[in-house]
Structure 1
Amino acid sequence: MPVVIPSTKEQIVRAAERLFAAHGLDGISLRQIGAAAGNGNNSAVQYHFGSRDQLVQAIFEYRLPWLHERRTLLIAEHRPDDLRSLLDCQVRTLLEHSELPGSHYLCFVDMLRQYGRSDVFEGLPAALRDSVREFQERLGGFLPHLVEPLRARRVAQAMAFIVDAAADRERAHAHGRPVVPFALQVTDLLDGMVGFLKAPASPRTLAVLERTDPAAAVWPAFL
């Protein structure tokens, strides 16, 4: 079987994903990314992507289609009709991705959240943004006990927790550390997330919410 050699752009994207995940957005130069991709041209990254922000967008566009297609396939196969079964499609998709050799994508996303870079979401192609929003709104449909904007915030927080768990697993694989068996992590994470999402809002939370600007209660969407 012939060996498939990644294109120069793909090599740069994968190198950037790995280095950004490890060092943050400002901890590595475009020149260092180009060198890590095996390109001797000091301007290779700028030539292919133009800027750091465009390179960040390229990483999303490289990874997200697979993630969204996989989740869509799981939804079509399992026809989820309750919160747990729908959430399972997201948990399974991200944990499966954490098993991919050479991927640092989930650690990269985790890093962006820590940097507060929710703005990158708005720069994604409309189809990918819509897929994220539609899935999260569908999850919210199983949470009638929560008022808005608390419902959307709770869903977005759950998505962030799942990313954290998947990033930890991806990081452990990268460093050769042991991981929990896949099936156990899926079901245990689901237990925790379903419990978190189904938890009622306390009277105290509702009272604080009434005094809070709705815009301040929004949690940025990722994935």
Structure 2
Amino acid sequence: MARTSGPETREKLIRAAEELFAARGVDGAQLRDVVALAGQANPSAVQYHFGSRAGLLDAVMAGRQARTRQVLAPLLDAAGDDLKELVAALVTAEASELRTDRGRRCLRISAQLSHESGIRTRTPHPTLDGTVYWHLIERMADRLAASGLPEPLLLERLDLALTVVGAALADRARQYLDGAEPLTGEALFLADLVETTTALLRAAQPRSV
């Protein structure tokens, strides 16, 4: 087997993790299978390069965030304060991962981690802290606060909306990976996702119960 450098081995492990985490689940995939798929002989390769399963997962998500950041940053700069514009920026950036099998796998992984973002406590996960994605979340939260939505309901609703977006895109990604025929064309699917997510966020505040 040809020798590879540290960065090359790390990249092989990340690619293998993307494939197995997407197919078997973040908790279901075995690290030994990741190591084997990456073509590594050392069974402790993940621990050596990433420290733990969590470290490997963070590396997978860091790569995914780097790709979507390139799309999201200019969209966010151009977006106004309208909530629908912010939702459209989010959906467009996230949907850019549908273009490749790698991105599709990462969408399936992200959907499993939606409640680990830190939205409910306004404390971002370390991989999101200071990112353009978190800045977008803060801007969306500001718009909801301006509408008079109480903080606890605001945070729950925002977390739910982002979970819906993640789940919808992950399911679309699954269909593409499986070669299934979606019910709607992609343009209509994304436009409807923007509309329904915006409607969820703008829903009237329930009466006190």
The two structures have a TM-score, normalised by structure 1, of 0.78
Q: Give the 3-state SS of the residue equivalent to 2:99 in structure 1.
A: coil
Structure-2 change in CA distance of 1:118 and 1:45 (3 Å): same
Mapped contact 2:128–2:134 kept (Cα < 8 A): no
| Residue 124 (str. 1) matches residue 127 (str. 2) | yes
Q: For 2:32 and 2:157, how far apart are their aligned partners in 1? A: 40
Match in the other structure for 1:210: none
Q: For 1:147 and 1:123, how far apart are their aligned partners in 2? A: 26
Q: For 1:41 and 1:75, how far apart are their aligned partners in 2? A: 43
| Structure 1, unpaired ranges of 5+ | 1-5, 208-223
Match in the other structure for 1:181: 185
| 1:37-186 → structure 2 map (5 Å cutoff) | 37-76=38-77, 78-103=78-103, 104-113=105-114, 117=116, 122-124=125-127, 126-128=129-131, 131-143=132-144, 144-179=147-182, 180-186=184-190
The CA deviation at 1:125 is 6.2
The amino acid of 2:38's aligned partner reads A
* Count of aligned pairs: 194
Q: Deviations over 1:46-76 (max 9, x none)?
A: 2211211111111111211221231111123
Q: Give the 3-state SS of the residue equivalent to 1:149 in structure 2.
A: helix
Mapped contact 1:30–1:46 kept (Cα < 8 A): no
Q: For 2:117 and 2:138, how far apart are their aligned partners in 1? A: 18
The CA deviation at 1:18 is 1.9
Q: For 2:8 and 2:191, how far apart are their aligned partners in 1? A: 38
The RMSD of aligned alpha carbons is 2.1
| Structure 2, unpaired ranges of 5+ | 1-6, 119-123
The CA deviation at 1:118 is 5.2
Mapped contact 2:88–2:194 kept (Cα < 8 A): yes
Q: Deviations over 1:125-169 (max 9, x none)?
A: 6323xx343212211233214111211221121111100111011
Q: Deviations over 1:7-36 (max 9, x none)?
A: 221121121122122222332222210111
Q: For 2:188 and 2:181, how far apart are their aligned partners in 1? A: 14
Match in the other structure for 1:214: none
The 4+ residue runs of structure 1 with deviation greater than 3 A are 116-119
The CA deviation at 1:199 is 0.7
Q: For 1:112 and 1:18, how far apart are their aligned partners in 2? A: 16
The amino acid of 1:187's aligned partner reads A
